Structure 1
Amino acid sequence: MLTIYGVYQSRASRVYWTALELGLDFESVPVIQTRRLPQPVAPDAPIHTHAAEFLAINPNGHIPAIADDGLVIDESLAITLYLARKHGGPIAADTLREEGEVLAWTFWAATEVEPHTVKIVFAYDDGLEATEGGRETISVARRMLKRPLTRLNDHLGENDYLTGGRFTVADLNVVEIIRYALSETDFMANYPAILAWVARCHERPAFREMMARRKAEG
């Protein structure tokens, strides 16, 4: 059986969403980020990313990770691509062309978008969004996002989804990275095609189920 290590309130959300889209049976091991624990070395501390038992799974000390029939993978985007490729179905690439586009969009989002959107979400997670430093961090991130988001908005102005005319793992990977910037409503209003695409992706039952589980974590 597939085992997913990580809490829903993390990049593991991508993996859980993918598993739900594919209708997979899986075991969830809720490994929490060490930075979220006030006393990670306490005897009663939950399993966390720097705990020895998790480092035996992923020596990098990050979530998510999966174990699947003896294979361990620990990069979230690699995991989603692997699961889609293994199990197929409509979210997987159907042709070599689609596979190339799925990979290209995924790597594009990881290199051109996430380094900036993650700074936004961390500013809010750390309660810094109203501080001078937090506002500057968010401002710089927004400025750096203008070029890639313009490209994405142009593409989605002519296509409902990123490739294949349907929702695929490419959309899942990219929209999860875009989600980090949705707090910036005035900024994102400049990209109406992206917002319409986000709404389409977020209407999916598997996304709604993932988010319900995420919210249940508290």
Structure 2
Amino acid sequence: MTKLYGSSLSRSARSLWALEELGVKYEHLPIAPSEARSPENLKRNPNGHVPVLEDDGVVVWESMAINLYLAEKYGKNSIWPSELAAHAGIYMWSFWAMSEVEPHLLTILHHRIMNPPEQRDEKAAQAAVEALKAPLNALEVSLKGKEYLLGKNFTIADLNVAAVMSWAPMMRLDLSSTPNVQAWLQKCLGREANKKVRGLK
């Protein structure tokens, strides 16, 4: 039995989206991030984080690692292309999202939404907005003339990057200067699998 531990209000949403996209039968155990350091979860992930995947005796943590594993195992006829070059593109964009985009989005999220008002620093948030311009421009250029990151088909690369970028609308991040990114993100987030996950705990 495939199990996914973690609330959809955390990075676990990325892996829930992958499971739904792939049509894998799974059990969802919605552990909140605040409960992730429980003795039970520390046995699954010694870092004390979610998500954690259990799949036929295999335990995987880190949302991107989970998604790459799921796509390779279950998505060969859907979101996991057969070509090795496409795999390189999937790894490239997935790691890019984590290193070039997510840290800045987290800074904005903390200083505009999550932190108590007295701990918010708008200068830090604005600096992160500025820092995002270069990677978003790179994404904009890469999407020119393409439906998705690797071409005409939606792959796990799109899911992983869009899952990271999904915080942008919540923060009302202005994407009007990158229309390719804006249209691509709306298309990805509008997929039925993602909309289903957003309705979970």
TM-score range, shorter chain: over 0.9
Question: Which of 73, 97, 106 is 2:94 aligned to?
Answer: 106
Aligned equivalents of 1:82, 1:113: Cα separation in 2 = 22
Task: Give the count of matched residue pairs.
Answer: 199
- Corresponding residue SS for 2:79: coil
Bigger mean CA deviation after superposition, 195-204 or 74-83:
195-204
**Structure 2 counterparts to residues 1-218 of structure 1, below 5 A:** 1-34=1-34, 48-88=35-75, 89-123=77-111, 124-128=113-117, 133-185=120-172, 187-213=174-200, 217=201
Deviations 1:43-99 (A, max 9, x none): xxxxx1111111111110111011111111111001001000001222112211111
Q: Which runs of 5 or more residues in structure 1 are unaligned?
A: 35-47
SS at match of 1:176: helix
The 1:212–1:28 alpha-carbon spacing in structure 2 relative to 1, beyond 3 Å, is: same
Partner letter of residue 99 of structure 1?
H
Contact 1:2 1:68 in 2 (8 A): yes
Corresponding letter in the other structure for 1:82 = Y
AA paired with 2:101?
V
Q: Is the partner of 1:187 in helix, strand or coil?
A: coil
CA distance in 2, matches of 1:212, 1:85: 26
User: How far off its partner does 1:132 sit?
Assistant: 8.1
The 3 A distance-change label for structure 1 pair 94 and 11 is same
Alignment TM-score, normalising by the size of structure 1:
0.86
Superposed structure 1 runs of 4+ greater than 6 Å apart: none
Question: 1:28-57 CA deviation, whole Å, 9 max, x = no partner?
Answer: 1111111xxxxxxxxxxxxx1111111111
- TM-score, structure 2 normalization: 0.93
Partner-residue secondary structure (3-state), 1:3? strand
CA distance in 1, matches of 2:67, 2:199: 20
Q: d(CA) in 1 for partners of 2:74 and 2:133?
A: 35
Match of residue 38 from structure 1: none
TM-superposed CA distance for 1:182, in Å, is: 2.4
Aligned to 1:42: none
Per-residue deviation at 1:186?
Answer: 5.7
